[in-house]
Structure 1
Amino acid sequence: MGIRLTSPDVVAPLSPTSVATREPQQDRSRATRARLLGSAISCLAELGWSASTVAVVAEHAGVSRGAAQHHFPTREALFTAALEHVTHERGAQLRRQAAEHRAELDTEAIVSLVFELFGGTFFRAALMLWVAAAADDALRTQIVPLEARIGREVHRVVVDLLGVDEHLPGVRETVQATLDLARGLGLANLLSDDSARRAGITRQWASMLDATLPGRSASA
């Protein structure tokens, strides 16, 4: 029996048969890789690290285990690639949304978007991998540099959204505090709906950013 998982913010794998009939080999390879990355996030979020083997991810993606290992020789390579890929995609999407609605985004709306980065299937998957890495030295050696790259990417996105100069005193630390707060709220929301409390924190933090970030209140 195939594995069925619910993944509201991860696109479900395409049918391998339909893809194979209409795409040349290179496109099929890219499509297979994309299915594997999406399924890796879904499986990790729903099943946890121990249960999310390459075989399980391959079945969820609708591809053979051999095809999965062709793209990703190890389980660690598959999941680190999945997290990095989703981070880049979500960052790019956030930048597009900001560019399209720049005039409409006040500080509170920006803070809300940042907080939303740390939620849903992606955040749960990342958390599962972090917990596993804490107890696995080999996995940790891969996750630590990945987390550093992801952290830098997300930090740049937030700086761009706020339109601030992080070379000015206190700006970099304030942006990082925003990310740390977002991560904490994401953890608080894992076991129960924390949206009501989060709304009040969002408003208050936005007000603090306007009061403390050089140039932010003028652009809000």
Structure 2
Amino acid sequence: MRARLLEATVELLVERGFAGTSTTLVSERAGVSRGAQLHHFPTKNDLVVAAVEHLTERRGAELAAAVAELPAGGRRTRAVVEMLGDHFSSPVFAAALELWVAARTDAELLAAVGPLEQRVGREAHRMTVAALGADESRPGVRELVQATLDLVRGLGLASTITDDSARRRRILREWADVLDKELAPCRSPR
């Protein structure tokens, strides 16, 4: 029941945003009584904070699964960048984005979202370094990895407004070429 409530919360965050997500709608979507929902999560913030934790785990698992599927060889950098672009334009990212915006003006939500997002950011950075075979002890490499993550987050944000997948693919293709050129002398063994 708890898992159904959390999944329903994430779905509604994607579909209706934070303001449009209510405990009543979550109960209906999850197929549980309002009393059962209140037993597990007495307030909307209790529900959303639990959903943030659930979403953090889900985002990490999805990213790790995508990294595990990456090809080896010459097209790996492009595959890494495209995988990150897909991850940061997914519905799960849209739900996280809703929580970021809501947390900006809600201290209780910020207290829950902030540390979890820092953890997600560190893990995404670590996975990206490993996937690219980047040696961060070399000057500028850490910044290139972080620029990559900032780029895909920004493109993910843009995708919430309009379908710009063709533009995103072109930008990511060019960025992958830049990364290959810049990281070539700084690669660690994969």
Query: Scaled by the length of structure 2, what TM-score is found?
Result: 0.85
Q: Which runs of 5 or more structure 1 residues have no equivalent in the other structure?
A: 1-31
Match of 2:61 among 67, 75, 92: 92
Measured after TM superposition, the shift of residue 187 of structure 1 is 1.4
Amino acid paired to 1:158: T
In the alignment, what sits opposite 2:155?
185
d(CA) in 1 for partners of 2:36 and 2:80?
Answer: 41
Are 1:215 and 2:187 counterparts? yes
Alignment counterpart, residue 107 of structure 2, candidates 137, 158, 175: 137
Alignment CA distance shift 1:148-1:182 (3 Å) = same
For 1:75, the aligned partner's letter is K
Which residue number in structure 2 is paired with residue 194 of structure 1? 164
Supply the distance in 1 between the matched residues of 2:138 and 2:5 (Cα, whole angstroms): 42
Change in Cα spacing, 1:134 to 1:100, as seen in structure 2 (3 Å) is: closer
- The alignment partner of 2:180 has SS state of helix
Residue 37 to residue 209, structure 1, CA distance change in 2 (3 Å): same
Identity %, equivalent residues: 51
Q: 2 CA distance for matches of 1:206 and 1:145?
A: 30
The match for 2:117 is 147
The question of whether the paired residues in 2 share the 8 Å contact of 1:84 and 1:150 is answered with no
The one-letter code sitting in structure 2 at the alignment partner of 1:155 is H
Counterparts of 1:51-62 in structure 2 under 5 Å?
A: 51-62=20-31
Question: Do the aligned partners of residues 165 and 73 (structure 1) sit closer, same or farther apart at CA in structure 2, a change above 3 Å counting?
Answer: farther
Aligned with residue 75 of structure 1, among 44, 53, 67: 44
Alignment TM-score, normalising by the size of structure 1: 0.74
1:92 to 1:131, Cα distance in 2 relative to 1, 3 A: closer
- 1:204 aligns with one of 158, 174, 178: 174
Counterpart CA distance in 2 for 1:125 and 1:97 is 19
Which residue does 2:71 correspond to in 1? 102
Q: Deviation of residue 73 (structure 1)? A: 4.2
SS in 2 for 1:63: coil
Q: Tell me the SS of whatever aligns to 2:72.
A: helix
* Structure 1 residue 163 corresponds to structure 2 residue 133: yes
Closer, same or farther: CA 94–124 of 1 in aligned 2, 3 Å:
closer
Larger displacement relative to structure 2 (49-58 or 98-107)? 98-107
For residue 46 of structure 1, what is the amino acid of its counterpart? E
Runs ≥4 in structure 1, deviation > 4 angstroms? none
In structure 2, runs of 5+ residues without a counterpart are none
CA RMSD of aligned residues (A): 2.3
Q: Could you report, residue by residue, the CA deviation over 1:179-201 in whole angstroms, capped at 9, with x for unpaired residues? A: 11011101111221111111111
